[in-house]
Amino acid sequence: MSRQIATFLLGNTLLGIDILLVKEVYRHMAISPIPDASSHLRGLMNLRGRVVTVIDLNVCLNRPSAADIDNCRLLILKTQEEITRYIHEGYIDDIFMGEDIVGFLIDRMDDVLTVEDEDILPPPPNIVEVDEDLVKGVIKQGNRLVILLDVASVLESVMNAAGDGGNYN
């Protein structure tokens, strides 16, 4: 089956997630910090009257925190309710996204790729840029390599780091 992958950059690292998990990309952020929160949680943001939990994807991937958020983008994910139809129709694997709105801080969006399932290769055992538990696979794209994130694992790692038993908002 073919699927579309939204790709984005963190520094020079090209990452991707299934486009069916993406709600929107937001540019102008006014983030309110959360006192005593884990470094994974950058803060909260008001998006058209709804609270968005902002996750610093750099920290999740064992990289330095996003320093200049004025130049970052916020990749806002769909909620569980918004993706349920895609799961039932078999377009995406069963995944738990939570009921709260979550956004990943990223440097910039790149491209949308259409790939076949067989184009997604297992992550190499020596992948050093990203915690291998957070990687679903890799995609060769010309002379570039796209690291396909396991969004559920990223969200789970944030919940574990926050130490709140599963609520990230």
At 169 the pLDDT is 45
Give the sign of the dihedral formed by CA 106, CA 121, CA 19, CA 84.
Answer: negative
pTM of the predicted structure, to 2 decimals? 0.87
Least confident interval from 15-19, 131-135, 163-167: 163-167
Mean pLDDT along residues 118-128: 81
Residues 60-69: contacts with CB within 8 Å, 24+ apart? 60/131, 60/134, 60/154, 60/157, 60/158, 61/10, 61/13, 61/129, 61/130, 61/131, 61/134, 62/130, 62/131, 63/10, 63/11, 65/39, 66/42, 66/105, 66/107, 69/29, 69/31, 69/42, 69/105
Structural domains in the chain plus CATH codes: 2-162 (2.40.50.180)
